[in-house]
């Protein structure tokens, strides 16, 4: 479906009702696309709607009562917002322009100079650029084979979770999982079969995790899972369930081929197993090694070593 056929919701955050009505009129004259306009009249309502999802782009006013649009952009981006933002202002000074772009806006329009054609072009540009930036983020953070988060993203998430655990005084668990004898799959059935096995294993693991858990592929047949606010009991139960999920049913490897596989897992909990966050990976590595050397097809806790 082309952009001209799509009906996309655009959020306008502006404390001026007349600006909302004027923007509605502009939308009615657009030639290449149809958009549905949603409106938020305050900073608080705007940030809630923006972070709530469901909007393809946002038109954001500079002046929002005692607070301004620049602060709203920064708050939204800090909370992971990826909606393309077009900044609106009554001022035409270069300083506002630069400040908006530095804060994270993708385009900038002066209200007094804005025509329907200009607004439509700005929306089209912001949506296209937003799609491009999202594609680049996917390339930078996702493993191309499985679609899981990659090693670089794992390291970022792990660092963030350590800081969060220290700040709020709660624990979190780290699981390392490794397919047993995976080299045999590639050697006996070829790399395409091995690739399909990794994709299928990734999906099976995702289906057995909590929504807050972060599953990553950190290399080869090795996966890592960060489990926020999980203690040893919760993490151990989850690791054993993952182990059962892999061995329970042969894994599709392309065509009619299905292969019986097993997985070994190591579990470590911060800060119980190590008060030093830098040692956490070494701790979970020891647990994974113990699972491998102990016969594979099992989960071992660092606390049991």
Return per-residue pLDDT of the chain as tens, 305 residues. 344 345 589 999 999 999 999 999 999 999 877 899 999 999 999 999 999 988 999 999 998 888 889 999 999 998 889 999 999 988 766 677 788 888 889 998 998 889 999 999 999 999 999 889 888 888 889 999 999 999 999 999 999 999 999 999 999 999 999 999 999 999 999 999 999 999 999 999 999 999 999 999 999 999 999 999 999 999 999 999 999 999 999 999 999 999 999 999 999 999 999 988 779 999 999 999 999 999 999 999 999 98
Neighbours of 100 (CB within 10 A): 24
Q: Is 109 exposed, middle or buried (0-12, 13-18, 19+ CB in 10 A)?
A: buried
CA atoms within 13 A on the CB side of 49: 22
CA–CA dist 70, 99 (Å, integer): 8
Exposure class string for 164-200: b at 16+ Cβ within 10 A, else e = ebeeeeebbbbbbbbbbebeebeeebeeebbbbbbbb
CATH 3.40.50.2300 segments of the chain:
3-141
The three-point CA angle 215-131-114 to 5° equals 140
pTM greater than 0.75: no
- Distance between first and last Cα of the chain: 56
How confident is the model at residue 239, as a pLDDT?
97
Is 153 in the active site?
no
CATH 3.30.70.270 segments of the chain:
151-304
CATH of 151-304, one of 3.30.565.10, 3.40.50.720, 3.30.70.270, 3.40.50.2000: 3.30.70.270
Catalytic residue among 153, 161, 196, 221: 221
In terms of Cα–Cα distance, which of 45, 80, 36 is closest to 65? Answer: 45
Q: What does CATH list as the number for 3-141?
A: 3.40.50.2300
């Amino acid at each position: 479906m082309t952009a001209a056929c799509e009906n996309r919701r655009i959020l306008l955050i502006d404390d001026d009702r007349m600006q909302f009505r004027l923007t509605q009129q502009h939308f009615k004259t657009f030639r290449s696309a149809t958009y549905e306009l949603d409106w938020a009249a305050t900073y608080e309502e705007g940030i809630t709607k923006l972070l709530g999802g469901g909007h393809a782009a946002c038109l954001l006013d500079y002046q929002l009562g005692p607070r301004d649009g620049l602060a709203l952009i920064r708050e939204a981006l800090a909370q992971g917002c990826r909606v393309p933002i077009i900044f609106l202002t009554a001022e035409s000074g270069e300083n506002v322009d630069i400040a908006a772009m530095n804060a994270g806006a993708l385009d900038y329009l002066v209200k007094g100079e804005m025509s329907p054609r200009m607004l439509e072009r700005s929306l089209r540009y912001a949506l296209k650029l937003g799609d491009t930036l999202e594609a680049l983020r996917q390339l930078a953070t996702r493993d191309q084979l499985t679609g899981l988060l990659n090693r670089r993203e794992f390291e970022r998430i792990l660092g963030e979770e350590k800081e969060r655990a220290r700040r709020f005084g709660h624990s979190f668990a780290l699981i390392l999982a490794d397919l047993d004898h995976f080299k045999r799959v590639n050697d006996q059935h070829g790399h395409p079969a091995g690739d399909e096995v990794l994709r299928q294993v990734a999906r099976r693991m995702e289906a057995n995790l909590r929504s807050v858990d972060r599953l990553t592929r950190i290399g080869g047949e090795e996966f890592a899972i960060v489990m926020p606010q999980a203690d040893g009991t919760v993490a151990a139960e989850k690791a054993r369930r993952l182990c059962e999920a892999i061995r329970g049913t042969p894994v599709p490897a392309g065509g009619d081929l299905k292969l019986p596989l097993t997985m070994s897992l190591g579990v470590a909990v911060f800060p119980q197993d190590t008060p030093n966050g830098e040692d956490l990976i070494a701790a979970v590595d020891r647990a994974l090694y113990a699972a491998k050397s102990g016969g594979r097809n099992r989960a071992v806790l660092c606390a049991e070593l």
